[in-house]
Structure 1
Amino acid sequence: MSQGPHHTSSLRPTLAALVLLLLTACAPSAAQESGGPELAAQAPLPTVVPQGARLIVGDPATKVALQLSGEIETFSFAIEWANISGGPQTSEAFRAGALDVGAVADIPPIHATWTGLPVKIVASKFRKDPLAHPTYELGIAPGVHVRTLADLRGKKIAYSPGQAQGALVLRVLKKAGLTKDDVELIELPSTGDVYPNALASRQVDVAPIGGVNIKRYTAKFGKDGATTVQHGLRDDPAHLYVRTETLKDPAKAAALREYVAAWARASRWIHEHPKEWIDGYYVKDQGLNAADGQYLVDQAGEPDIPADWSEAITRHQETIDILAAETGNEPLKAEDLYDRRFEPVAAAALKEGA
C-alpha cells in the first residue's frame, strides 16, 4: 500500500450528533466537494488516490484491527473515524453528508433505499460454515416452551424493522411455515441488552439475540429456565456500503478502493491473531473479559470474502422479497444494491498478501 499522509481522528458520539445537525441542510454533493468532474457509474475505479483525499469512516471494529496490525499508519489519504455503527445511525449520518462509508449487515442498504437514500455495497464478508457459526440465536424466555420453530406459533416475538434481527424473524417464520398473523410481533429496538431484558421480564417470549448476549443470557437466566434455540438459517452477511453520491467523486472512489483492500486484510488479521484481538478489542476497547472475547472469536469462526458476489446477491434477493411481501414496500433488485466494480478488490487484496 502506498505511503502518504495518514492523519486519523475520531468523532465522539456527541460531536457526531452535532455534525449531523449542522450538515443535514447543507451537505455538499460529491462533485461540489471535489471540484472536479463526476465519476460515471460504469467507469473503471481510479487506482491512484489524489493528494488531499479524505474519508469519514464508520467502522469502529476495523479501526481497532488496523491499529493493532499497524496498517492504520499506511493509508495514502486522511481518515476521520466516526464512532457510528448500525443501520439507523449510519443512514442518519449519510443523509447529513457526515459519513462516507459504514459497516452493516444486509438489511440497512435495503431499508435505506426504500426510504429514499440511494446506497451501494462496496464490500461483502461472510462466515465459513455459517450454520455452525450463527450471528444470532433465538432467546427463549424463562418458562416458555419453544424447542422447535413450529413452537413459535402464538408467541410474542421481539421485532426490529429495518435491522438484521427483524429480517431474521420474518425469515424464521417463513421457514416454520408461519406468518405474522400466527404470532405477535412486539416492536423493540435491538440495541444493547434490550432483548435479553425483555425476555427475562417476559415482555416477549422470543427474541433474536447475538454476540456475547447469547452467553450471558443463558448464564444469568438459565437457572430460571431461559434457553436458546438455533434457527438454522444463514445470518452472516457483513457489508461496507456508501451513498451512491459518494461514488461520483473520483478521489473518494479511489480512497474507498484502498480502504476496502485494507478492510479485507484487517478481517484476515483478526482471524489469524485471536489473542491480540481479544486483548486489544474485546477487553481493552469493548470492556469485556477475556472469556467473553474467546467466546466471540469462537462464535465468529473463519471469515469468507468471496471474489464473486453472485451467490450473495441471490441470497440478498430472497431476503428483499420476504421483506417486501411483509412490509408492503416495492421489491428491489438486489443487483442494484451492489457496485460490482469493487467485487474483486477485497479478495485480490487477500491473495496479494498471502
Structure 2
Amino acid sequence: MPRPAPDHHRSPTRPHGRLPRGPRSLALLLALTAPALLVSCAQQDSAGGTSDAKLARTEIPEKASPKTTITIGAPEDRVLLKLSGAAKKLPFKVKWANISGGPQCSEAFRAHSLDLCASAEVPSIHAHWTGLDTKLVAAEFRKDPKKNPIYRLGIAPGAHIDSLKDLRGKKIAYSPGQAQGALVLRILRKAGLKKDDVKLVEMPSTGDVYPTALGERQVDAAPLGAVNLKRYPEKYGKDGGKLIPHGLRDDASHLWAPTETVADPKKAAAIREFVKFWARAQVWAYEHPKEWVDGYAVKDQGLSPKDGEYLHKHNGEPEIPADWDAAIRRQQKTVDLLAKETGKKKFDAETLFDRRFEHVAAAALEAGGGKAHGKEKP
C-alpha cells in the first residue's frame, strides 16, 4: 500500500588524515585513489543517456538463482509476505533491513548495504541531485486518490485557516527532499502563493513530530498522513485543531534500487521476482483487512484494532499500472516544480525508471487473477 516516507539523511562519514609525501608515496596515493576516480567517472557516466541505454540492453536472466541474496528495506512488505504465506516461496535469499523511505534508504544505498527499498516519489529525485544513481523498479497508486489521499493538511488550533488561500503569512512544516515537502510546494502553487508568501519551518516528518508541532502551535499547518489523520483531530479537535483537504494527488509509491544493483543480472533477476511477490502482497493486504489489521497494524505496529481498521480503510484499494507513461509524466511535473523552487537543474524524469521492470508487477497480477492493475491516470 502507498506509504509516506521519513525525512532527512546524512552521508556516511569518511576517514581522513595527512597525505603522504615523496615520489614513492605519491605513487602509492595514486594507486589508492585510482579505483575511486574510476568509480566516480562511472557514476558520472551513469547519469547520462549512454549508461541508461546500456542498462536497457542488459538482459535479466529468466530465473533468479537460489544462491543470490538481496537486502530489502520494506518493513510492511516483509510482514505482508509472512502473513500471506508468500515469504516461504521466494526463490532467492533475502536479508530484511528495518528501514524504508528516502533518507534512510539513501544512506544505506551510499554505504552499499541495501539493494531495494520502499519509498515515495521524491527521494529518487533528491538522490539524482545529490549524485546518487538509482532506479525505480515498481510503481503503485490508489484507485481513488483525490477522494482518499495519503495526506490532508493539519491545521493548528487558532490558526484561522479554512482554505488553502488562508495559508498566506502562515508557518508551514516543511521537509525538503521528502514527499511531504513536495506536497507543500504543490499546495502553495495551487493556492496561488509563493514560498515568500509563507514561512516554511524545516522539521522532520517522522512519528508525531508534525502533530505535536501543530498542537503546540509551533506551526500553523502541516501535511498529516496515516493514523495521525484520525488521532490529531481526536486529540486537538476540542481546541480547534482540524484537517482540510488539499485536492491534489499524493499517492505515488515505489520500489527503489541503486543502479549498481539492477545492473547486476543476478540481483536484477531476484528483484524482478520480488516485484511479482510485492504486487500480489499489495492486493492481498487490501482483500484481507482482518488479517492485515491483526497481523500488521496491531501486532507489528502496536496500534489499537480501531486505529488499524481506520488505517486499512484509509489506505484504500491499490492500483498497479500496466505501463509507466502516466507515472513518468507525473514524476516530470514534480521534477520541474522542485527544480524551480529549489534552484536545482531540471532533468528527464524517465532516467529515474528502469523500464525493464515496467510490466512485471501488472503481469504478475494478471497471471494470478489480480484486479489492482490498469492504466494509471495522470
TM-score by length of 1: 0.89
Aligned 8 A contact 1:137 1:231 in 2: yes
Task: Provide the secondary structure at the position in 2 that maps to 1:222.
Answer: helix
In the other structure, the counterpart of 1:285 is 300
The yes-or-no answer on 1:210 pairing with 2:225 is yes
User: What is the number of equivalent residue pairs in this alignment?
Assistant: 325
Aligned-residue offset at 1:50: 2.4
The yes-or-no answer on 1:122 pairing with 2:137 is yes
In the other structure, the counterpart of 1:236 is 251
In the other structure, the counterpart of 1:4 is none
Equivalences for residues 164-183 of structure 1 within 5 A: 164-183=179-198
Equivalences for residues 43-122 of structure 1 within 5 A: 43-122=58-137
Instruction: Say if 1:265 and 1:21 are closer, same or farther in 2 by CA, change over 3 A.
Output: farther
Aligned 8 A contact 2:59 2:265 in 1: no
- The amino acid across from 2:269 in the alignment is A
Instruction: Say if 1:21 and 1:285 are closer, same or farther in 2 by CA, change over 3 A.
Output: farther
In the other structure, the counterpart of 1:9 is none
Aligned-residue offset at 1:312: 1.0
Aligned 8 A contact 2:173 2:201 in 1: yes
In the other structure, the counterpart of 2:334 is 319
Cα deviation, 1:253-281, whole Å, max 9, x if unaligned, reads: 00000000000000010011011000000
Task: Provide the secondary structure at the position in 1 that maps to 2:311.
Answer: helix
> Which whole-Å CA distance do the structure 2 matches of 1:239 and 1:70 have between them?
23
Runs of 4+ in 1 over 4 A off after TM superposition: none
Cα deviation, 1:134-193, whole Å, max 9, x if unaligned, reads: 101100000111111111111000000001000000000001110001000000000100
Identity level (%): 60
Aligned 8 A contact 1:21 1:96 in 2: no
> Which whole-Å CA distance do the structure 1 matches of 2:66 and 2:92 have between them?
7
Aligned 8 A contact 2:153 2:221 in 1: yes
Equivalences for residues 213-224 of structure 1 within 5 A: 213-224=228-239
Aligned 8 A contact 2:141 2:319 in 1: yes
- The amino acid across from 1:239 in the alignment is H
The yes-or-no answer on 1:275 pairing with 2:281 is no
Cα deviation, 1:185-205, whole Å, max 9, x if unaligned, reads: 000000100000000111000
Aligned-residue offset at 1:286: 0.1
- The amino acid across from 2:202 in the alignment is E
Q: Which runs of 5+ in 2 are unaligned?
A: 1-11, 15-34, 40-52, 370-378
Cα deviation, 1:20-48, whole Å, max 9, x if unaligned, reads: 789xxx99x9xxxxxxxxx9402232221
- The amino acid across from 1:203 in the alignment is Q
The yes-or-no answer on 1:41 pairing with 2:49 is no
- The amino acid across from 1:142 in the alignment is P
Cα deviation, 1:94-138, whole Å, max 9, x if unaligned, reads: 000000000000000001111010100000000001011110110
Q: Which runs of 5+ in 1 are unaligned?
A: 1-19, 30-38
- The amino acid across from 1:249 in the alignment is D
TM-score by length of 2: 0.83
In the other structure, the counterpart of 2:268 is 253
In the other structure, the counterpart of 1:154 is 169
In the other structure, the counterpart of 1:8 is none
The yes-or-no answer on 1:188 pairing with 2:203 is yes
Aligned 8 A contact 2:128 2:134 in 1: yes
In the other structure, the counterpart of 1:143 is 158
> Which whole-Å CA distance do the structure 1 matches of 2:154 and 2:294 have between them?
28
Task: Provide the secondary structure at the position in 1 that maps to 2:321.
Answer: coil
Task: Provide the secondary structure at the position in 1 that maps to 2:137.
Answer: strand
Aligned 8 A contact 2:125 2:335 in 1: yes
In the other structure, the counterpart of 2:363 is 348
- The amino acid across from 2:217 in the alignment is R
- The amino acid across from 2:141 in the alignment is F
> Which whole-Å CA distance do the structure 1 matches of 2:88 and 2:147 have between them?
36
- The amino acid across from 1:323 in the alignment is L
